[in-house]
Structure 1
Amino acid sequence: MNYLCLNGPNLNRLGKREPAVYGHTTLRDLESQLKVLAAEFNASIDCKQSNVEGQLIDWIYEAEDTGVDGIIFNPGAYTHTSIALRDAIAGVSVPVIEVHISNVHKREEFRHHSYLAPVCVGQITGLGTFGYSAALRMFLEG
């Protein structure tokens, strides 16, 4: 079993950017935790981050072409703006779980709408970085 974790814009700043909202865990720490969890199930996970929408789209298509079993995706602000990412997810057979560290529904109104949620198998929001582990467990145990 092989999984992919994608992180969108600004998530490379985890642990530094607005820690009151996003916590103190760094992206490197988060990725390490996911790799340990995957290994417990004899699975692997590749983690990638980009601030560039087109790169994220390319990785989604590459995931299907290379036989990835599932994608954990925190698209950051692209959640609320990117029809292109929505179309990429809709265009592949790889299941995607959308993850958000903060509870986007308790934040600014523009964050309440996700273009991606309707084409994802699920959405996890507001559980901090644990949401990533919950998504991976869903794939591993589901």
Structure 2
Amino acid sequence: MGMLMSLLTVTLYFKDYYPWVSGLNISLVFCVICVYGLGPAGVSMTLPADLFLQAWRPSAFVISGTICWVSQFLIGMCFPYIVDSFEELCFLIFVAYCIFSGAFLLYFIPETKDKTMVEIMEDFNKLNFKGMESNIDMKDFVLATKL
């Protein structure tokens, strides 16, 4: 997605020099929308189910959904002003955000594949409460299975 936005930034710069680049810009915008819909948009609603215990999931869904919708609303409302300010370079803000998000996921979020909810919670507790013991009550995890 970051690469598509970088390419879109470059093609927006050259749109005045080559008339065929405008069609490429339109197709790149559609590609960005498709990649977003197939990637981060779907993950934002399924990730809380993997990261939170059953007792905390409703609150996690409400909070993550609210953050997602509010941030999309703010981006939609602020983007015309960003375009007026940065012109062709308006997508570089999103490229920087993609790079920052990728680095954050790589260095701070633990792998959850093939782990039970207890193991995932213990991994997060190790990150959040270094040097302290986990106090997760095991009776909450009757339904957790390792797939």
Same fold, TM exceeding 0.5? no
| Higher percent of residues as strand | 1
TM-score range, shorter chain: under 0.3
Question: Under a length normalisation based on structure 1, what TM-score does the superposition of the two structures give?
Answer: 0.27
| Higher percent of residues as helix | 2
